[in-house]
Structure 1
Amino acid sequence: MDIRRLQAFVKIIDIGSISRAADILNIAQPALSQQLASLETAFKQKLLIRSKMGVTPTAAGLELYRHAQTMIKQLDRAMTEVSSGGGPLVGKVSVGLSPYSSGSTLSLALLKEVRAKLPGIILHLTESFDDIYSEMVMTGRLDMAIIHGAGPIKGVNFTPLMKENFFLVAPENSPFAERGSAPVKLSELTEVPLLLPPDYNFVRKRINTAFARKQIEPHIVAEVEALLTLQDAVAAGIGFTILPWSVASKIIVPGKSRVHELRSPIIQEDVSLCVPESIPETEAGVAVRNILIELAKSMVMSQNWPGTQIMDANN
């Protein structure tokens, strides 16, 4: 089995096109097609489905894709670690941080700590609404990710970091402003125009679940993924939003928006660090993981986030 064939196969899946993959790999398309045919012969399985729209993997192709990514990443790690000759930690470590979560607020602190303590490591940080981080960790596309929920999910392990409550972010002149610090009940939000992320985001899922359990419908007027747009929209009085404190506190505009505690029910979510179950961690990855865990704990304690509780693996 030639590792280059597996690398080419992964590229085809990532690009979704044999011809475009051939261009990127600087390989003639017939030669790349022949490599694919050799893989299908070796595994005695059809790996790709061709159409006018490109190519999509079969079930067998997806399984090979997952294993191929693991093997390629392991080879890259071996090359890096052997070349370093036991010197300072080097290599690339990729970390996924869920948007609209406490994970995203850790990105700058993590970057600073890694640059100061592990200068030989290239840190790859990503925040995406579209990607499913647990799958990316399981297949080796990410070394780790901070996600919401604590599993179980086959192929990944979870380390609980914190449990955080969600809060209402409202325009300064909203009807709730006269209450001061008094909590707002979820049932009072049925007529409130809400600006929320799309359905597939964890914040939206938790909000949908909370409203459904109270048997009431949220009044959603827009779905917003850009945090700066959400900040400006609430400050302009266009609508309200619901976010974890770690994010809600960051988008407040003094004199134009404020945070209110939510009750009946409390909307709450676990935050966990997700790592692969079957792919061995590198020394660099372990070092970054330890920094990330300590940063999460110290940030909660030092900033005294309301409604946020530090957790550990035994909780």
Structure 2
Amino acid sequence: MELRQLRYFVRIVELGSLSRAAADLFIAQPALSQQVAGLEAELNVRLLSRSVRGVSATEAGQVLYRHAQSVLRLIDRLKADVTSANSDPSGVVSIGMPTSVANVLATPLIATAQIRFPGIRLQVIEGLSGHLRDLLVNGRLEMSLLFDVSEIAGSGVTVQKQVSHLHVKPLLIEELFLLSAGKKRFGAAIPLAKASTHRFVLPASSNATRQIVNRAFEAAGLSLDVIAELDSLPTIKSVVASGLASAILSASALSGSTHHDGVTAHRILGVNLTRSVSLCTYDIVALSTAASCLSQLVVEVSESLVKSKVWIGAELDQRVVTRGA
């Protein structure tokens, strides 16, 4: 098995097409197919499933894809670490952030990284927590901030194996607020029973935060009137600002403190509505020097934002979780 074959295979899976991968890699398609056939023969397993829509990895192919990503990333890190052994850490470090977390953390993290580690270039990927987890275990991210790791939706043996390889560093606990249309950024607290009279737009039922909200209302014997399920934070805020419905999210979902977007946050009384935020890495491959420096910086900056009350509605998570979910 050659590194070249692994690079070819990873690109095929990412593009979902042999022809597109061949064009991207500047190699003839028959030659690319031959490389895949060589891998399948060596491993004695089918790696790709072909259809009119293109190609996709089989279950065995998904396993190879994840490990190939780790191997290739390790090679890249090896080069970076060796060349920067006698200098400051450098290179590209990819980190995932749910949008609400990025609202608070991205700017101060980038600013601090530029001062401490000017040789590191951050690649910040925003998305839903579950999607970021998938990018992490597939080798597309080196680390990611994730919500309630144990609640990230997934089914099947493969997902459970992926989650078991997560290295989890609990950072903080965020309170969830009722968000409604209003002229103030923060309004009067509201009892859970009164909150249940609102109509809501919420993330899909598979979303970790949505599951927390569902359980809280069910435990209180209250129902949720959900008129729409939305996975876009800006769209949720737009709908809330219009007065059409309310939402239940963290205060970090609101935009910067210098700008009011027509959404008011209300503390919800009579219930403990919180979610955890953890820094997660996939422990099959060790972090590069640059990534290790950045992971420590994420912890430092997050703690500073909580202690200075910039991260509103958050408190430090004192739990010790080292592995798994």
* Cα distance, 1:5 vs structure 2: 0.6
Confirm or deny that 1:137 pairs with 2:143.
no
* Cα distance, 1:290 vs structure 2: 0.9
Q: Name the counterpart of 1:207.
A: 213
> Which of 145, 158, 173 does residue 168 from structure 2 map onto?
158
| Letter in structure 2 aligned against 1:139 | N
Provide closer, same or farther for how the CA distance between residues 251 and 237 of structure 1 changes in structure 2, counting only shifts above 3 A.
farther
Q: Name the counterpart of 2:267.
A: 261
Q: Name the counterpart of 2:8.
A: 8
> Which of 284, 298, 305 does residue 292 from structure 1 map onto?
298
* Cα distance, 1:248 vs structure 2: 4.0
> Which of 171, 178, 186 does residue 181 from structure 2 map onto?
171
Percent of counterpart pairs with the same letter? 31
Q: Name the counterpart of 1:43.
A: 43
Q: Name the counterpart of 2:201.
A: 195
Q: Is there any run of 5+ residues in structure 2 with no aligned partner, and where?
A: 151-159
* Cα distance, 1:241 vs structure 2: 1.3
| Letter in structure 2 aligned against 1:124 | Q
Q: Name the counterpart of 1:87.
A: 87
* Preserved contact between residue 231 and residue 252 of structure 1 (Cα < 8 Å): no
Whole-angstrom distance in 2 between the partners of 1:275 and 1:216: 37
Confirm or deny that 1:69 pairs with 2:69.
yes
- Find the residue that maps to 1:106 and give its secondary structure: helix
> Which of 224, 229, 232 does residue 218 from structure 1 map onto?
224
Q: Name the counterpart of 2:156.
A: none
- Find the residue that maps to 2:239 and give its secondary structure: helix
Provide closer, same or farther for how the CA distance between residues 147 and 25 of structure 1 changes in structure 2, counting only shifts above 3 A.
same
Q: Name the counterpart of 1:148.
A: 147
Q: Is there any run of 5+ residues in structure 1 with no aligned partner, and where?
A: none
Whole-angstrom distance in 1 between the partners of 2:181 and 2:294: 39
Provide closer, same or farther for how the CA distance between residues 257 and 104 of structure 1 changes in structure 2, counting only shifts above 3 A.
closer
* Preserved contact between residue 166 and residue 283 of structure 2 (Cα < 8 Å): yes
TM-score (norm 1): 0.88
Provide closer, same or farther for how the CA distance between residues 216 and 66 of structure 1 changes in structure 2, counting only shifts above 3 A.
same
Comparing 60-69 with 237-246, greater Cα deviation is found at 237-246
* Cα distance, 1:120 vs structure 2: 0.9
Aligned residues: 309
* Preserved contact between residue 164 and residue 270 of structure 1 (Cα < 8 Å): yes
Provide closer, same or farther for how the CA distance between residues 217 and 252 of structure 1 changes in structure 2, counting only shifts above 3 A.
farther
* Cα distance, 1:272 vs structure 2: 0.7
For the aligned residue pairs, the C-alpha RMSD in angstroms reads 2.6
| Letter in structure 1 aligned against 2:273 | I
* Cα distance, 1:249 vs structure 2: 6.9
* Preserved contact between residue 102 and residue 126 of structure 2 (Cα < 8 Å): no
Q: Name the counterpart of 1:275.
A: 281
* Cα distance, 1:312 vs structure 2: 3.6
Whole-angstrom distance in 1 between the partners of 2:58 and 2:238: 44
- Find the residue that maps to 1:6 and give its secondary structure: helix
* Cα distance, 1:116 vs structure 2: 1.8
| Letter in structure 2 aligned against 1:247 | A
TM-score (norm 2): 0.86
Whole-angstrom distance in 2 between the partners of 1:66 and 1:254: 42
Q: Name the counterpart of 2:157.
A: none
